[in-house]
Amino acid sequence: MTINRRQFLKYSGIGGASVFMGGILAACGETTATGVSSSTPPGAVTPTGLAATTHQAQPLNYNDLNPKRLANFSRPLLLPGHNGLLGVLDAGSQPFEVTARPATLEIFKGKSTDLQAYQVTMNGKTVVNPIFRIKPGANFTAKVTNNLGEDTTIHWHGLKVDWRMDGHPSMPVKNGSSYTYNFTVQNRGGTYWYHPHAHKLTPKQAYMGLASFYIVDDEDNLQLSNRLDLKFGETDLPVVIQDKQFDTDGKLVYDSGPDTQFMGFYGDTITANLTPNAFLDVDTRFYRLRLLNGSNARNYRLAFVRSNGNQKLAYWLIGTDGGLLDKPYQVSEVFLSPGERIEVLLDLTNFVEGEIVALKSMPFDPMHQEMGMMGRSGLSNGSSMGGTNGMVGTGTQSTTNSMPTGQLGEGEEFFILKLNVKNKVSYTRAIPTTLSNLAALDTTRATIRPFVLSQSMMQSTQMMQWLINGKSYTMDDYPISVKKGNTEFWEFRNEAQSMPHPMHLHGFQFQVVERLNSPSQLQGLTTYDRGRLATDLGWKDTVLIWPGETVRVALNFTHNFEGAQTYVVHCHVLEHEASGMMLNYKVLEG
């Protein structure tokens, strides 16, 4: 059996010992064998003693967090449960009251980490950063109260909703006030997510903890679960990957200075479900992982390796941003940029007890060839022009084990999650040959709309900034209008002197139809027709465009919302979005 809630508590550094201040609550309650939760009542002090037996003091020494050392991966991965952090809520059944508020989590023993989090208290239980699960056609209602002390909104990333429900930056929820988000789920089954989108505040609020999953379950997904005997929270696991930076007091560090705004924020500690250096005990069977890159700026080149020999494992890509693919595609590495999701099946049936499998990010050329950094001190080294060493925050000391904080360069190799094969089980299920129906959009009448990703020096500040079609975001400027019902090609062209930009748009999922001038490191991945990667073969809402590359996507603007719709298209490097790499677009009535 996989680890259950009781075992989890026993090992828990992040579970039983976790305390949210201000309504003080346990991050994880205890679940009995029948699945009924017996949570710590809100307001009670968390029984930290529960975790005392096996809990090890984890001093905040970077050597103990360094994600390059697999031996450091000794904290149990936080799993979704019935309550506490990442508690699961059946979302079609009733309206929710969600509070966005400051919170504290004991990630490191004896130290409290300040976060911002979403909290739902109902039926005597408290759920923090709930994972909403819902079916297509169901109605979702969340009254969101803002207690953050600053503006916020909730954006339902990937979901097709009326723009008034989309968390658009022009509709802020002011501190102390509430806003009710209400929509019918129109999306296919898939792994969507939610996070704030207030003007200029997205990067900091998402970094501080405001983000979680929104999972739509449809028939195809149900069939897959039955077929492979998958259970959500046990063998079907949502995992959000984020890079953070902690100071020696265990506090999150976020620096929003001009260099960060231009390059994006890169942390040196890799977390999975807010667990640094996480491990999970697994059985010899199939696992479905729903991987979300919830990082502000970091890209991952994801591979699974057998730790003895470091050899890469083939795994199955089964889903992208907008749900299941038509069939499983075998891959050994895929890039995952901020905002993107992939769903994978990992076949552990041939493993033996005691073996270790690690999810890691393989080395790659970050392609930070941005002109703006040339000759600037601190972040850039001279070799960043087209070289493989142009890593943010990387100095000469970056390859040692005792890196100072802030020194995990983009494109460096590191581990994300360790899987310990614990139990040999008999498991005879076979992977299905088909997963879902994916029809290509009819693009016979589609016209091409170009989007050029560039940079320029702001005269006022002498700072470099990123632009889309030569423009920076202005709240009341609507430079793009499309017609409801039309199909268009949106063509994202990234300049050669640039950095990778994960482009995302609100309102509609799209299909990647072509990649042109892709960098050579993509040729190491399996490619399909028209330069596409396996991750381009499904519905998408975010797509990574490398320097010099052109990516063409097809999208259809059919919707059933009332009146003109205003959405945004932006780079999902959150610092780029916040500093203006975003445009409004309108969908006009017929």
Decide: is 157 part of the binding site for ligand C2O (CB under 6 A): yes
Stretch that binds ligand C2O, among 2-10, 289-297, 452-460, 568-576 (CB under 6 A): 568-576
Residue 86 in contact with residue 79, Cβ under 8 Å? yes
Q: CB atoms < 10 A from the CB of 589, how many?
A: 10
Stretch that binds ligand C2O, among 25-33, 528-536, 556-564, 567-575 (CB under 6 A): 567-575
Q: Residues 360, 418, 515, 570: which binds ligand C2O (CB under 6 A)?
A: 570
- Residue-level length of the chain: 590
DSSP state of 484: T
Distance CA(287)–CA(359), nearest Å, equals 13
User: For ligand C2O, what does the binding mask look like between residues 176 and 215, x meaning CB under 6 A?
Assistant: -------------------x-x------------------
Q: Which does residue 501 bind out of Cu ion, ligand C2O, none, counting CB within 5 to 8 angstroms by kind? A: Cu ion
Q: Which two tokens stand for residue 131?
A: 């994972």
Strand-pairing partners, residue 542, are 504
SS3 426: coil
Q: Which CB atom, from 158 or from 233, has the smaller least distance to ligand C2O?
A: 158
Question: With contacts defined by CB under 5 A, how many residues of the chain interact with Cu ion?
Answer: 6
Q: CB atoms < 10 A from the CB of 272, how many?
A: 24
Extended strands (E) in 314-372:
315-320, 323-331, 334-336, 341-347, 356-361
The minimum distance between CB 132 and ligand C2O, in angstroms, equals 15
Q: Which does residue 197 bind out of ligand C2O, Cu ion, none, counting CB within 5 to 8 angstroms by kind? A: ligand C2O
Q: Which CB atom, from 70 or from 201, has the smaller least distance to ligand C2O?
A: 201
Q: Looking at beta carbons, which residue is closest to ligand C2O?
A: 157
Q: Which does residue 133 bind out of ligand C2O, Cu ion, none, counting CB within 5 to 8 angstroms by kind? A: none
Q: Which CB atom, from 144 or from 571, has the smaller least distance to Cu ion?
A: 571
Which of 71, 128, 65, 50 minimizes the C-alpha distance to 96?
128
Decide: is 298 part of the binding site for Cu ion (CB under 5 A): no
Q: Residues 250, 339, 372, 531: which binds ligand C2O (CB under 6 A)?
A: 339
Q: Which CB atom, from 518 or from 579, has the smaller least distance to ligand C2O?
A: 579
Q: CB atoms < 10 A from the CB of 374, how many?
A: 13
Q: Which does residue 570 bind out of Cu ion, ligand C2O, none, counting CB within 5 to 8 angstroms by kind? A: ligand C2O
Decide: is 576 part of the binding site for ligand C2O (CB under 6 A): no
Q: Which two tokens stand for residue 474?
A: 């202005």
Q: Residues 9, 51, 324, 573: which binds Cu ion (CB under 5 A)?
A: 573
The minimum distance between CB 525 and ligand C2O, in angstroms, equals 24
The minimum distance between CB 154 and ligand C2O, in angstroms, equals 11
Strand order from edge to edge, sheet including 275-276:
275-276, 269-272, 236-244, 286-293, 341-347, 315-320, 323-331
Stretch that binds ligand C2O, among 302-310, 436-444, 555-563, 566-574 (CB under 6 A): 566-574
Q: Residues 5, 125, 133, 157: which binds Cu ion (CB under 5 A)?
A: 157
The residues, any chain, with a CB within 8 Å of residue 396's CB and separated by 6 or more, are: none
Q: Residues 513, 576, 580, 587: which binds Cu ion (CB under 5 A)?
A: 576
Euclidean distance between the first and the last CA atom of the chain, given in angstroms as a whole number? 55
The residues, any chain, with a CB within 8 Å of residue 67's CB and separated by 6 or more, are: 269, 270, 277, 408, 414, 415, 416
Residue with tokens 């996070």: 195
Q: Which CB atom, from 162 or from 347, has the smaller least distance to ligand C2O?
A: 162
The minimum distance between CB 567 and Cu ion, in angstroms, equals 9
Name which of residues 504 to 523 contact ligand C2O (CB under 6 A): 504, 506
Which of 328, 374, 321 minimizes the C-alpha distance to 158?
321
Residue 334 in contact with residue 289, Cβ under 8 Å? no
Distance CA(32)–CA(15), nearest Å, equals 16
Distance CA(270)–CA(67), nearest Å, equals 6
Q: Which CB atom, from 244 or from 572, has the smaller least distance to ligand C2O?
A: 572
Extended strands (E) in 80-201:
84-85, 88-90, 96-108, 111-122, 125-128, 131-134, 139-146, 155-157, 178-184, 190-195
Decide: is 532 part of the binding site for Cu ion (CB under 5 A): no
The minimum distance between CB 577 and ligand C2O, in angstroms, equals 7
Residue 252 in contact with residue 207, Cβ under 8 Å? yes
Q: Residues 359, 571, 578, 587: which binds Cu ion (CB under 5 A)?
A: 571
Decide: is 25 part of the binding site for Cu ion (CB under 5 A): no
Q: Which residues of 385-422 are buried (b: 16+ CB within 10 A; e: fewer)?
A: eeeebbbbbbeeebeeeebebbbbbbbbebbbbbbbbb
Strand-pairing partners, residue 300, are 336
Q: Which does residue 195 bind out of ligand C2O, Cu ion, none, counting CB within 5 to 8 angstroms by kind? A: ligand C2O
Stretch that binds Cu ion, among 13-21, 299-307, 479-487, 501-509 (CB under 5 A): 501-509
Q: Which CB atom, from 160 or from 501, has the smaller least distance to Cu ion?
A: 501
Stretch that binds Cu ion, among 135-143, 282-290, 476-484, 563-571 (CB under 5 A): 563-571
Q: Which does residue 576 bind out of Cu ion, ligand C2O, none, counting CB within 5 to 8 angstroms by kind? A: Cu ion
Question: With contacts defined by CB under 6 A, how many residues of the chain interact with ligand C2O?
Answer: 10
Provide the binding-site residues for ligand C2O, judged by CB under 6 A. 155, 157, 195, 197, 339, 504, 506, 568, 570, 572
Provide the binding-site residues for Cu ion, judged by CB under 5 A. 157, 501, 506, 571, 573, 576
